[in-house]
Amino acid sequence: MRVALFIACYNDALFPDTGKAVTAVLERLGHTVEFPMAQTCCGQMHYNTGYRREADALVGAFNDAFRGYDAIVTPSGSCGGHVRHHHDTETAPDVYEFSEFLVDVLGVTDVGAYYPHRVTYHPTCHSLRMLRVGDKPLRLLRAVRGIDLVELPEAESCCGFGGTFAVKNSETSVAMLRDKMGNIGATKADTLCASDNSCLMHIGGGLGRIKSGIRTLHLAEILAGTR
Amino acid sequence: MSDQKVNVVWLGSPTFPNAAHTALKDEQLRRNLKHATTTIRDKRLRAVAELEDWETLRLAGSRIKDRVMRHLDEYLLRLEASVTAAGGVVHWAADAAEANRIVIDLVRARGADEVVKIKSMATQEIGLNEALAEEGVTATETDLAELIVQLDDDRPSHILVPAIHRNRTEIRDIFRREMGKNGVPAPDGLTDEPRVLAEAARRHLREKFLRAKVAVSGANFACADTGTVGVVESEGNGRMCLTLPETLITVMGIEKVLPTFADLEVFLQLLPRSSTAERMNPYTSLWTGVTPGDGPREFHLILLDNGRTATLADRQGRSALHCIRCSACLNVCPVYERTGGRSYGSVYPGPIGAVLTPQLVGVGSSKHADSLPFASTLCGACYDACPVRIDIPEMLVHLRQKVVDAHRGDGFPKPEALAMKGARLVFGSPRRLAFAERLGAVGGRIIGIRGGRWLPGPAKKWTDARDVPVPARESFRTWWRRTGRG
């Protein structure tokens, strides 16, 4: 199976460690990952902000970049959701969010990871309600050695990021973030995990500002950890 | 008909972010909303989980509404014929002013100077109470929460629970202060116990029910085949209005028509469980024209357009008209929970308001209405809760596109529009992206020096409460190439 990694543009520039972690996990499971250099951006931000014309202009290049692969794997629930639901994907392979790819395509939940920390998991809205990944990320986390996984109260409530919403409606966004941070704090976890760095960038930005000492980490980076 | 006036939006309302700015500072409001929405949310989930065929019901509701929209012209004519055959009178109103005029003329012709009202979104939408007041006719809201809002000269903030922003102590104070000015005063020693408050409202309203010659209602449904019109409610005040006065005037949005009486089977299951989380609503009133010796002697049905046919014309936006006004989307919305309903500046607040209001008034017609489709994180909770499966997130995005497209010809494009065009150019080629990433890494080091905490310009809205992520020194694609992988 020829697997292509779709990193998502913000991960490429801001969170390269997530891409390295996805690569590490898949290689550990015996798969070869390719990174088509022609990839740029799926256009989600444009699309969701109302810039449909600009978004549509990126679809062709996306399809060209990933032509010929058997599957695309991405560490972004929201970009994965956008490609699956809004791209004209006639010529592109199926796209899978990372946890979907591991559980549904590869059929694994135990990836041999080790992460000796107290962790709580925030299911991001698009992975939950657009991709319907369900408890797949949690099944993967439960199999991690040494992990102390604690349930996040009101887990399925949006964190308030919402792409450009975070700036356009910054005060409402921050009010939602405060409630989310309160719930995270109540778990006494030292690590907040999610399947999307965009939401984590927002929550982590808030947690950093209040000097909470809580670390935000993408699911792939926890699954990449070994003893 | 360019002279049509649509009243849905409260004139002079600020844009959503500005209205939210005020609402978010109201700690009491936040507590009231959090308590109320989380309670209703949990109850709804339990009520819905009881039905094994809930998803099938939702699909049925969605398909019936879809069919209604595709053949609205036929069903409305059928409804007119069957209501007329049953002894009712049907009126057609293109806009709010026309609908108000019809009501006023009917009330006047009966020599009445007061009407009792059943909670109705359509009459709020057209500003009927205000229009009646201008003509010297007093309209009394008989739904408990609407009465609270009306006594306080306030605006409703929720479709189903209009006084959701008030707690019982605030309500007690409103009753004490205002009831006497409008009729039977609140009894001495009024407490804030719900039972006591309800009793005070009952006494206040009773004389009005017995005296009124005219009642005004909305309609939840109207069946085209039989001409049967229906209202569902919880307090019995509606039943009083529908049976006691001699004349009943019903104002109904044209989208409320259903093909057949049998379709009620679906909606009378979907609506109560989604709205009040009840298996069945306490009062379901159905009437077909007039019945001699029983109930009103005259029945007038006003079919209201007020922006609906324009909404119908947009195939991607029209399913906003499927809404059965249950409010489930408000109750699950994380934005509504923080800002409350009045921030939406419309009688239709919350997610459904954010898609309905701009369409009823027309995208591009006001800054306020144009700000509403952006008042969402697109979290999707509303779509999951909607009993008729309106894909509100997708519609929000569609309306954002219409707002953006309406401004494409502007002489001075907004910074956002320029940024989006710029981003499109950068993403247009992997080489330009790699170059931008290297620039970003340099910029990131500068931000890093400043601690990643305070940025100027639009970015300030981010850094006011959140640190910014610092671009990595080496992008993923550079690492991939450097490590000889590709």
Q: Is the pLDDT of residue A203 over 60?
A: yes
Min Cα separation A122/chain B (Å): 13
Q: Measure CB to CB from residue B397 to each of A41, A48, A169 and give the nearest one.
A: A48
Question: Mean of the pLDDT values across residues A155-163?
Answer: 97
pTM equals 0.94
Q: Is the pLDDT of residue B137 over 80?
A: yes
Contact assessment for residue B438 and residue B448, using Cβ atoms and an 8 Å cutoff: no
Going by pLDDT thresholds of 50, 70 and 90, the confidence category of residue B3 is very low
Q: Measure CB to CB from residue B475 to each of A16, A61, A208 and give the nearest one.
A: A16
Listed by number, the residues of chain A in 64-123 with a beta carbon closer than 8 Å to a beta carbon of chain B are none
Q: What is the pLDDT of residue B436?
A: 83
Going by pLDDT thresholds of 50, 70 and 90, the confidence category of residue B12 is low
Residue labelled with tokens 């946890």: A99
Going by pLDDT thresholds of 50, 70 and 90, the confidence category of residue B11 is low
Q: Is the pLDDT of residue B450 over 70?
A: no
Question: Mean of the pLDDT values across residues B383-391?
Answer: 98
Going by pLDDT thresholds of 50, 70 and 90, the confidence category of residue B433 is confident
Q: Do A129 and B384 count as a contact with CB atoms less than 8 A apart?
A: yes
Question: Mean of the pLDDT values across residues A182-204?
Answer: 97
DSSP A134-185: TTHHHHHHHTSBT-EEEPPTTTTS--S-TTTHHHHTHHHHHHHHHHHHHHHH
Going by pLDDT thresholds of 50, 70 and 90, the confidence category of residue B9 is low
The pLDDT > 70 percentage for chain A reads 100
| Amino acid present at B73 | D
Going by pLDDT thresholds of 50, 70 and 90, the confidence category of residue B2 is very low
> What average pLDDT is seen over chain A?
96
Question: Mean of the pLDDT values across residues B445-466?
Answer: 75
Listed by number, the residues of chain B in 164-203 with a beta carbon closer than 8 Å to a beta carbon of chain A are none
Q: What is the pLDDT of residue B430?
A: 86
Q: Touching check for A7 and chain B: CB below 8 Å?
A: yes
Q: Do B377 and A50 count as a contact with CB atoms less than 8 A apart?
A: no
Q: Do B334 and A160 count as a contact with CB atoms less than 8 A apart?
A: yes
Q: Do A13 and B17 count as a contact with CB atoms less than 8 A apart?
A: no
Tell me phi and psi for residue B329, to 5 degrees: -70, -35
Q: What is the pLDDT of residue B7?
A: 60
* Angle formed by the axes of helices A52-66 and B415-427, nearest 10°: 10
Q: Measure CB to CB from residue B374 to each of A13, A157, A165 and give the nearest one.
A: A165
| Amino acid present at B83 | V
Q: Is the pLDDT of residue B6 over 60?
A: no
Look at B194 and B437; give whichever has higher pLDDT.
B194
Which residues of A are less than 8 Å from B414 in CB distance? none
Least confident range of A87-91, A182-186, B19-23, B163-167: A87-91
Taking only the tens place, the pLDDT of each residue in A114-137 is 999 999 999 999 999 999 999 999
For residue A22, give the chain B residue with the closest CA.
B476
Listed by number, the residues of chain B in 107-136 with a beta carbon closer than 8 Å to a beta carbon of chain A are none
Distances (CA, A) of B470 to A15, A160, A188, A193, B449: 9, 21, 26, 19, 10
Distances (CA, A) of B419 to A164, B87, B146, B416, B434: 12, 62, 45, 5, 18
Q: Do B374 and A7 count as a contact with CB atoms less than 8 A apart?
A: no
Question: Mean of the pLDDT values across residues B161-169?
Answer: 89
Q: Touching check for B380 and chain A: CB below 8 Å?
A: yes
Min Cα separation B279/chain A (Å): 25
Question: Mean of the pLDDT values across residues B98-108?
Answer: 98
Residues A155-160: contacts with CB under 8 Å, at least 24 apart = A155/A121, A155/A122, A155/A123, A155/A183, A156/A123, A156/A128, A156/B381, A157/A183, A157/B334, A158/A125, A158/B334, A158/B377, A158/B379, A158/B381, A159/A122, A159/A124, A159/A199, A159/A202, A159/A203, A160/A202, A160/B334, A160/B377
Q: Is the pLDDT of residue B300 over 90?
A: yes
Q: Do A205 and B384 count as a contact with CB atoms less than 8 A apart?
A: no
For residue B336, give the chain A residue with the closest CA.
A172
Contact assessment for residue B405 and residue B352, using Cβ atoms and an 8 Å cutoff: no
Taking only the tens place, the pLDDT of each residue in B168-208 is 999 999 999 999 999 999 999 999 999 999 999 999 999 99
For residue B16, give the chain A residue with the closest CA.
A169
Min Cα separation A11/chain B (Å): 8
Q: What is the pLDDT of residue B10?
A: 66
Which residues of B are less than 8 Å from A61 in CB distance? 428
Taking only the tens place, the pLDDT of each residue in B219-229 is 999 999 999 99
Q: Measure CB to CB from residue B471 to each of A14, A52, A202 and give the nearest one.
A: A14
Q: Touching check for B480 and chain A: CB below 8 Å?
A: yes
* Nearest one of B427, B455, B431, B457 to B443, comparing CA atoms: B455
Q: Do B476 and A208 count as a contact with CB atoms less than 8 A apart?
A: no
Which residues of B are less than 8 Å from A134 in CB distance? none
Mutate one of A86, A131, A156, A158 to test the B interface: name it (highest B CB count within 10 A).
Answer: A158
Q: What is the pLDDT of residue A65?
A: 95
Q: Touching check for B331 and chain A: CB below 8 Å?
A: no
Q: Do A165 and B472 count as a contact with CB atoms less than 8 A apart?
A: no
For residue B480, give the chain A residue with the closest CA.
A35
Q: Do B474 and A167 count as a contact with CB atoms less than 8 A apart?
A: no
Q: How many angstroms separate the CA atoms of B271 and B395, rounded?
A: 22
> What average pLDDT is seen over chain B?
92
Q: Is the pLDDT of residue B77 over 60?
A: yes
Residue B44: its H or E element: helix B27-49
Listed by number, the residues of chain A in 191-220 with a beta carbon closer than 8 Å to a beta carbon of chain B are 201-202, 204-206, 208-209
Which residues of A are less than 8 Å from B344 in CB distance? none
Give residue A150's region: left, alpha or beta (phi > 0; psi -120 to 50).
Answer: beta
Listed by number, the residues of chain A in 158-187 with a beta carbon closer than 8 Å to a beta carbon of chain B are 158, 160-177
* Nearest one of B201, B241, B202 to B218, comparing CA atoms: B241
Q: How many angstroms separate the CA atoms of B87 and A49, rounded?
A: 51
Q: Do A14 and B24 count as a contact with CB atoms less than 8 A apart?
A: no
For residue B397, give the chain A residue with the closest CA.
A48
Q: Do B17 and A175 count as a contact with CB atoms less than 8 A apart?
A: no
Which residues of A are less than 8 Å from B474 in CB distance? 16
Burial grade of B279 (CB within 10 A; 0-12, 13-18, 19 or more): exposed
Contact assessment for residue B340 and residue B23, using Cβ atoms and an 8 Å cutoff: yes
